[in-house]
């Protein structure tokens, strides 16, 4: 920490003081940027006048990617940032910019070794028994060497910051911020606050320049997520880490996009991708602290079959309210409740409260009605992202950085999986986690979302509950004991009267189905001569019901039995999970509810008996 005390932080005021008095340097870099971007803008203008702007989008997007690469680290990072902003860039640009690679020419090894000695205050020989003569990887902000610690023999990765990088990106961000002011003032078509976006992005890049901060990020990430045996996060060697030098445990592994190399080790890419998806969901929706740059180079498959996360310079956090809103948004999407989906954008901080969401609803309906014709297991995440991005691009959305990074994270994982299995769907792999959270999380937002999912038009949708249990059981952390407890608490709470009415009706229906099903089963178990003698041999036996009515009764009874079977067959099933229900029923509110259910059942069965007599 002492070594990083002078680490720079992003400050627009400081940049203005440092570079405002350097006109020659500013002019030289400005001309370099203007020539590159000006020629690109001219091509866009010509495309527009010739009516081929849309036709050439893909071509121009590829050109912009190459321009950013030539302009250096700041623009490489800027391009990567834009690749996560569907509210700013059309889909073609998002795809091309997402391919930007950090690979840049290396800087001299002598400068790197000098930086290590200067930062750590020790000679290389006193720290390492050996170090690679050249870097094993180079990125926009630094390069990495492989070394062996002298005191322990531990193999480590030593990351050294590129000399002069702070000066280069400081100058660029000063110029870019000035352009942002002009865009805000004169370009009406862009509704997002461009200067605020630049400031937010610049602060994240400056955080990457502080390697002590990156080490702390890695330590926090390891504490939260490396509790799972299939996730690996390297340890940091703090004695050999400073603001510009980061020493961490060496991880042997293969990049996640190198399928042949992974499978040659007897591993399956899809297993590793599923591990990545489950870990990402925990990052995004459980703790809210997540890796914001999960490209293939930062994800390694180890020989032991673990998924290793690297490079913790760029991290982000999902606000607590947004975590629950995202899960609720998925529920509203499955329910095709587009009005609720549109309202979710307030909680997600996509829209200011004064924006009317009414015009957005038809756009959501037009896209999702087509997309949701497939089952959840068949939905392609990239299709959803592209379609939603098109909606965001047309309306006054301001996509928060955390959400754009979430989309990027899951899109990268699905892209990796598609190499191994063209039919892989990230939403299908994610659904068990959503199901588990809906069934077990006591948060009021999720509890209401579960009630909304299970009840419609005054009827309980048993098929939805069965599907949630089937999916939830696929999650390794699913607990049958916790399933539906949040709804039970709501049921007997002061705000649960409407739900109690629905539960009473459904309890009566289920009890009737069980009783009538038992009657039919008893009748069917009789010998043929007794059935013919007593009930004329009809398959309905003593029940005067239509075939359709009979099928509905048996279907409901069988569905309830299947759900009970799913709970009982869970690995951690314990009969004591019924104990909270019994305890609740002993409370005054529970006894009242029980009495209403018994009364309803008695009335229903009496009415059914009278109906049978009158029909006879």
- Which residues are catalytically annotated? 293
Report the chain's terminal Cα–Cα distance, integer Å.
89
Burial-class residue 525 by CB neighbours within 10 Å (0-12, 13-18, 19+).
exposed
H helix or E strand, kind and range, residue 415: helix 401-420
Q: What does the angle CA 314 – CA 274 – CA 291 come to, to the nearest 5 degrees?
A: 10
Nearest to 74 by CA among 165, 135, 148: 165
305 — alpha (psi -120 to 50), left (phi > 0) or beta? left
At 549, list the tokens: 């009515």
**Alpha-carbon span 165 to 500, nearest angstrom:** 64
Neighbour-count burial for 229-240, b at 16+ CB within 10 Å, e otherwise: ebbbbbebbeeb
**Alpha-carbon span 126 to 151, nearest angstrom:** 9
Beta bridge partners, 413, equal: none
Nearest to 212 by CA among 163, 171, 172, 245: 245
H helices of 187-283, in order, are: 194-209, 211-225, 259-264, 269-282
**Alpha-carbon span 146 to 123, nearest angstrom:** 16
Q: What does the angle CA 207 – CA 208 – CA 211 come to, to the nearest 5 degrees?
A: 95
């Amino acid at each position: 920490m002492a070594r990083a005390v002078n680490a720079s932080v992003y400050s627009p005021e400081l940049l203005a003081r440092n570079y405002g008095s350097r006109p020659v340097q500013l002019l030289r870099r400005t001309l370099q940027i203007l020539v590159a971007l000006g020629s690109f803008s001219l091509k866009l203008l010509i495309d527009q006048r010739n009516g081929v702007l849309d036709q050439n989008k893909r071509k121009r997007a590829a050109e912009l990617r190459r321009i950013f690469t030539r302009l250096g680290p700041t623009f490489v990072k800027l391009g990567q940032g834009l690749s996560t902003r569907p509210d700013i860039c059309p889909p073609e640009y998002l795809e091309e910019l997402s391919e930007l690679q950090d690979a840049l020419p290396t800087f001299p090894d002598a400068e790197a070794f000098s930086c290590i000695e200067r930062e750590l205050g020790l000679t290389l020989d006193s720290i390492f028994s050996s170090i690679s003569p050249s870097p094993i990887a180079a990125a926009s902000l630094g390069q990495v060497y492989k070394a062996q610690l002298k005191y322990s023999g531990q193999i480590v990765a030593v990351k050294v910051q590129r000399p002069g990088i702070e000066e280069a990106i400081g100058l660029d961000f000063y110029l870019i911020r000035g352009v942002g002011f002009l865009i805000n003032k004169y370009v009406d078509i862009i509704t997002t606050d461009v200067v605020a976006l630049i400031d937010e992005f610049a602060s994240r890049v400056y955080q990457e320049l502080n390697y002590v901060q990156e080490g702390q990020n890695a330590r926090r990430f390891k504490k939260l997520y490396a509790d799972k045996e299939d996730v690996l996060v390297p340890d940091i060697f703090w004695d050999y880490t400073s603001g510009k030098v980061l020493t961490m445990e060496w991880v042997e592994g293969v990049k996640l996009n190198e399928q042949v190399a992974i499978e040659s080790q007897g591993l399956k890419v899809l297993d590793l991708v599923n591990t990545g998806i489950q870990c990402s969901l925990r990052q995004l929706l459980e703790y809210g602290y997540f890796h914001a740059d999960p490209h293939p180079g930062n994800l390694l498959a180890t020989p032991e079959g673990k998924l290793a996360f690297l490079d913790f310079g760029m991290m982000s956090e999902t606000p607590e309210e947004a975590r629950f809103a995202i899960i609720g948004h998925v529920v509203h999407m499955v329910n095709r409740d587009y009005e609720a989906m549109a309202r979710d954008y307030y909680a997600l901080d996509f829209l200011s409260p004064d924006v009317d969401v009414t015009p957005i609803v038809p756009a959501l309906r037009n896209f999702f009605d087509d997309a949701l014709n497939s089952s959840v297991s068949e939905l392609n995440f990239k299709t959803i992202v592209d379609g939603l991005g098109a909606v965001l691009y047309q309306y006054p959305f301001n996509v928060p950085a955390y959400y754009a990074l979430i989309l990027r994270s899951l899109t990268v994982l699905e892209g990796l999986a598609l190499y191994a299995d063209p039919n892989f769907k990230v939403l299908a792999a994610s659904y068990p986690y959503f199901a588990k959270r809906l069934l077990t999380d006591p948060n009021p937002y999720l509890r209401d979302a579960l009630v909304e999912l299970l009840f419609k038009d005054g009827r309980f949708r048993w098929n939805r509950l069965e599907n949630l249990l089937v999916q939830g059981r696929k999650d390794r952390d699913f607990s049958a004991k916790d399933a539906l407890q949040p709804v039970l608490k709501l049921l007997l709470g002061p705000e649960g009267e409407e739900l109690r009415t629905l539960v009473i009706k459904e309890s009566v229906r289920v009890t009737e189905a069980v009783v009538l099903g038992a009657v039919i089963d008893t009748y069917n178990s009789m010998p043929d001569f007794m059935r013919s003698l007593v009930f004329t041999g009809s398959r309905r036996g003593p029940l005067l019901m239509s075939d359709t009515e009979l099928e509905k009764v048996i279907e409901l009874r069988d569905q309830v039995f299947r759900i009970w079977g799913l709970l009982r067959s869970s690995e951690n099933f314990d009969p004591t999970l019924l104990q909270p229900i019994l305890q609740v029923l002993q409370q005054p509110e529970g006894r009242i509810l029980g009495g209403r259910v018994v009364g309803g059942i008695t009335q229903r069965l009496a009415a059914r008996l009278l109906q049978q007599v009158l029909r006879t």
